Amino acid sequence: MSHRSPVMADPDVLIVGGGVGGVAAALAACRAGRRAILTEETDWIGGQLTAQAVPPDEHPWVEQFGVTAAYRALRQGIRDYYRQWYPLRSQALALTELNPGAGRVSKLCHEPRVALAVLQAMLAPYESDGRLQVLTEHRARAAQVDGDRVRTVSVQDLRSGATIEISARYVLDATETGELLALAGAEFSLGAEARSEHDEPHAPEVADPLDQQGITVCFAVSHHEGEDHTIDQPADYGFWRSYRPDFWPGPLLGFQAPDPRTLEPVARTFRPNPIEDPLEVSADQSADAGDKELWTFRRVLARGLHRPGSFASDITLVNWPLNDYWLKPLIGPDEASSQQAVAEARQLSLSLLYWLQTEAPRPDGGTGFPGLRIRPDVTGTADGLAKSPYGRESRRARTVTTITEHDVAIAIVGPNGGTRYRDSVGVGGYRIDLHPSTGGRNYIDIGSVPFEIPLGALVPQRVRNLLPAGKNIGTTHITNGCYRLHPVEWNVGEVAGALAAHCLDHAVEPQQVQAEDKHFEEFARALEHVGIQRHWPDIRGY
């Protein structure tokens, strides 16, 4: 550890996992005056926004309401970064709701490095104060438990191999797969529950822990007409070139794919660097999913927003049906199986790139786009693939409250229904969106209502000082499909960090805060004071 600063002794809060929820948890704990350590196994904090290279999936009212004040500050910081440092056209510079990439998946499509810069800036004051220590390239390997409490977590420096023991009064699991739950022996659910467990209409008849949503190894590309950036043929290209799932309308490497909502075959189009003015793009998935034109769907840099000649090409992130991987689960029976799943997913993404460069049908009747150039500079890796796979689900803590399809599905609760929680600590909104799974099923994409986040879904049934702080809260396999997105993960992490600090300040435990009105009302006032919206406004027509 000689190349690193000494590790903070006896932090109040240890946050394992530096993704969206982990960063929010660190901000909340430090904002409340507590000392915290944040660990992250890659060299980038930010998770989905950065290391996984996934622009934020958000509800359509995000510009007006429905997110925390800190998340809104993150979004504003990203826009300000572009205004300050990029050569934006005057029309784009004047936009209050600037969408830097003019992508259709989000009102805020941006490059991963920009989110990284803003997140680091948000944490910087606490690091300067010594209240926060961020340990990148560190991964939790073991946990020492005494009864219902986690005493220490063994964290390995992935560069030196050295292991350190960290003891903290509260430990937050903000990992992408809920791995600390497993290390600590905390109760959790994994994969698909049986329909009989919660009577969910879309659950399978038989439980299967290995039935998990597919993962995606994202990558960034630009296009340079007349140039040849074709990569070497990937080792597994032959397999992926001929692979045709039973539930797919054609080869996976092809522009025919199911519509997630209807499952009907739909042709995707691919037109690099379209001539349309990006200022005309509307990113509102409630009106138009926007996923049929692949280039603009997750575009993160639109050259047309900038002064002429500033950029040779747009940049788009490839996170499409064509590179969703579902042959093996990310959370497998052992570490070797999980590593193999990631390796195969990486080969699928490289095979997709090679197919696009050499065989994909062009609008002009030709084949291949050799001018496509993978962008290692965008993802911060040597090969241009994202640092981490985009994992859509996690182990899920067994918590006081379990959110089920009966709480959020429009078909069950009606357009103005949905469970309203006494202990709500946040809000979110997104369709129940499950991608094809390792169990061999197709998309499940159904309507849901704007929902609340109950504190009970963050409070384990048994363990006293371990809190979930990401996608590992008490949802089911089905409802994870709408609680897994960026602003909800941020909200969950922010509340978990605030809860740990509140419990330390008031000598109470999370279970007491959730169960007892007096304690909860005090905590709720503290959340509202820092801008955490606990309920949706009473507006009809969501």
Read off the DSSP letter of residue 83.
H
Q: Are 475 and 457 in contact (CB under 8 A)?
A: yes
For the chain, percent of residues with pLDDT exceeding 90: 96
For residue 286, name the pLDDT band (cuts at 50, 70, 90). low
For the chain, percent of residues with pLDDT exceeding 70: 98
User: Within its chain, how far is the Cα of 432 from the centroid?
Assistant: 15
Instruction: Name which residue leads in pLDDT, 261 or 5.
Output: 261
CA dihedral 64, 65, 67, 71 (to 10 degrees): 30
CA triple 349-118-373, angle to 5 deg: 30
* Cβ partners under 8 Å of residue 449, min gap 6: 408, 409, 410, 413, 415, 416, 417, 418, 429, 542
Q: Is the pTM of this model over 0.75?
A: yes
Structure confidence by residue, pLDDT tens digits, 489-502: 999 999 999 999 99
Nearest to 200 by CA among 448, 471, 514: 448
Structure confidence by residue, pLDDT tens digits, 294-339: 999 999 999 999 999 999 999 999 999 999 999 999 999 999 999 9
Average pLDDT over residues 64-91: 98
For residue 291, name the pLDDT band (cuts at 50, 70, 90). confident
Nearest to 392 by CA among 343, 348, 432, 339: 432
Instruction: Please give the mean pLDDT across all residues of the chain.
Output: 96
Instruction: Check pLDDT > 70 for residue 287.
Output: no
At residue 332, φ and ψ (nearest 5 deg) are: -90, -170
**Least confident window among 275-284, 431-440, 451-460, 517-526:** 275-284
Instruction: Check pLDDT > 60 for residue 541.
Output: no
Spatial distance between the Cα atoms of 209 and 192, rounded to a whole number of angstroms: 6
Tokens of 229: 């950036």
